[in-house]
Amino acid sequence: MQRVVRVNARTCAIEQTPVSDEMSLWGGRQLIANILAREVDPTCEPLGRGNKLIFAPGWLGGTMIPTSGRLSIGGKSPLTGGIKESNVGGEAGQTLARAGVRALIIEDAPDDPASRVLRIDRNGATWVDDLTLDRLSVRETLGILREQFGERCGFLVIGPAGELRMTASGIATTDVTGVQIRYAGRGGLGAVMGSKGIKAIVIDDEGAPPQAGADADCLKKASRRFTELILASPKIEGRRKFGTAGIVATSNELGLLPTLNFSSGSFDGIDGITGKCLADTIAARGGDGRSGTPCMAGCVIRCSNVFPDEGGHRKVASLQYENIALLGSNCGIGTLDGIAELNALCNDIGLDAIEMGCALGVAMEAGLAQFGDVEAAADLLRQIEQATPLGRILGQGAAFTGQALGVRRVPTVKGQGIPGYDPRALKGNGVTYATSPMGADHTAGNAFGTARSLDPLSAEGQLENSRALQIRSMILDMSGLCLFARGPLVEDAELLAELVNSCFGTNVSFADIANEAAATLETERAFNVAAGVSDRLADVPEFMRVEPLPPHNVVYDISADAMQSIWEIEPNRKKF
């Protein structure tokens, strides 16, 4: 039975209801947007009783379709003050979908801090009372949970930063091996989970086979074709070899790589942090090191990696583009070992590495550490875990840190740290950061992929580009598919309709799906307007309009008014 699990974090009451006809057609980010729009007062305190934390697999979650296990996590963000969906790989999404949970909704909040554990299986949900996990690191927490509940479960956990309700905190999950640490990092949802007094959620899908879909044969056929097209992509080799880090060198060439607190778009130490350097290092060191590992079972892309230290022991998994850009070049750190150390710390403490890379860059600009000083940066991160006053500043993210330290160059849009693409040199991303309901988010409509076909330094065409990319991102987030699975759909948009129809027994076209995506963006926008963080009020930071970014020496030059016209552009209902 597909069902909705509602958990009251104050009374600890758990309620399960069958999915309504309407909700049965909602997936992932779309489900979150609709639930929040109906049930949550947009003006509520994000860490108060009125907010809800929602976990929702996508439309295709629980099936054998490759990469379909992405999990959407959402609520009102304590970082942006607006609606937030943060999307994560790993096993939690797939196990939740297979356990028949269309949506897990955490409501209300306890008066006093708590660190409870919730367990969900295909029959129901229960509190686990005999575990004490307070203030344990993410790695320790996952280790205990895997031992206690078995390695095939899905896990969703927060670290000390989430328990401390810090707005740079995320929600972590892992893969079947327990090696990968994956984050629903953006938007401070770890603090929302912390405010609900929940340290961990264990999802056991024992006895729940993959969902066969309404038309099992059709689903198998469509899924096979999807897989073949993914495997036929010319990009797949690079993704397996270099992972997301494959774009580090290109970002640097394009002059959009965040460097030294967003004061440059290219980095002197680039050679030490490229995807090639990463792959070579992993290969040379051997041991635990791996390139081309999956983050979820059955993924045919396998863009993840395990980065080992010099002795071959796992240092962090996976080392990815955003973290290299923000914890690396943005902090003037030009060694993968240095980046891996900081990334592992973020993972353990429960922090979004993007937000922390921005916050550390701001702290370095304020003189709290020298750019490039790994040990000083690591000490700053440890202060977050220790909850020192300085740690309590940094753990709230870049905007908060900038305010506390009186720094002017603060790289945030809508209160959220800018990911690895400086909008001055990738104008389309400026449009996305300012207009997307998600704020400065790398997965909400990232124009990097179009930087070769559309001059990224020019304003020309960027509104149309961002509009199309925001809808594409929404479709993936509704479906539960990975961003890297988009290739076949770009070739053949109707294949997505086929996948959906074979799951649900529906008869939708891609145009219908595109319409749903556009409508969901409007639902999110309406929530933000009502919350007071309308995209109309947003812009890139002032410094990006006045400080030219080397090496191209460009400022951001699309006006806030011009960006608003994005919403008048009709979505393309034929092309993915």
Residues in touch with its own copies (CB under 8 A)? 43-45, 47-50, 111, 164-167, 388-390, 392-393, 396, 400, 403-406, 408, 530-534, 537-539, 541-542, 546, 560
Instruction: Quote the least distance from Cβ 55 to its own copies, whole Å.
Output: 23
The DSSP bridge pattern shows strands 83-88 and 116-121 to be unpaired
- CB closer to its own copies, 408 vs 575: 408
d(CA 307, CA 283): 10
Instruction: Quote the least distance from Cβ 188 to its own copies, whole Å.
Output: 11
Q: Among candidates 315, 92, 146, which has minimal Cα distance to 305?
A: 315
Instruction: Quote the least distance from Cβ 403 to its own copies, whole Å.
Output: 6
Strand stretches in 158-221, DSSP E: 171-174, 181-184, 198-204
Instruction: Quote the least distance from Cβ 110 to its own copies, whole Å.
Output: 10
- CB closer to its own copies, 188 vs 428: 188
Q: Among candidates 387, 2, 349, 336, which has minimal Cα distance to 185?
A: 349
Q: Is residue 331 exposed (0-12), middle (13-18) or buried (19+ Cβ within 10 Å)?
A: buried
Q: Among candidates 196, 160, 202, which has minimal Cα distance to 348?
A: 160
Instruction: Quote the least distance from Cβ 163 to its own copies, whole Å.
Output: 9
Instruction: Quote the least distance from Cβ 140 to its own copies, whole Å.
Output: 21
Crossing angle for the helix pair 28-39 and 462-479, to the nearest 10 degrees: 90
Q: 246 Cβ partners below 8 Å, 6+ apart?
A: 238, 239, 275, 321
Q: 570 Cβ partners below 8 Å, 6+ apart?
A: none
- CB closer to its own copies, 145 vs 544: 544
- CB closer to its own copies, 162 vs 243: 162
Strand partners, 4: 17, 103
Q: Among candidates 484, 10, 109, 141, which has minimal Cα distance to 292?
A: 484
Instruction: Quote the least distance from Cβ 165 to its own copies, whole Å.
Output: 4
- CB closer to its own copies, 136 vs 399: 399
- CB closer to its own copies, 110 vs 287: 110
3-state secondary structure string, 552-566? CCECCCCCHHHHHHH
Instruction: Quote the least distance from Cβ 434 to its own copies, whole Å.
Output: 11
- CB closer to its own copies, 179 vs 376: 376
- CB closer to its own copies, 161 vs 521: 161
d(CA 200, CA 198): 6
CA angle, residues 116, 37, 109, in degrees to nearest 5: 20
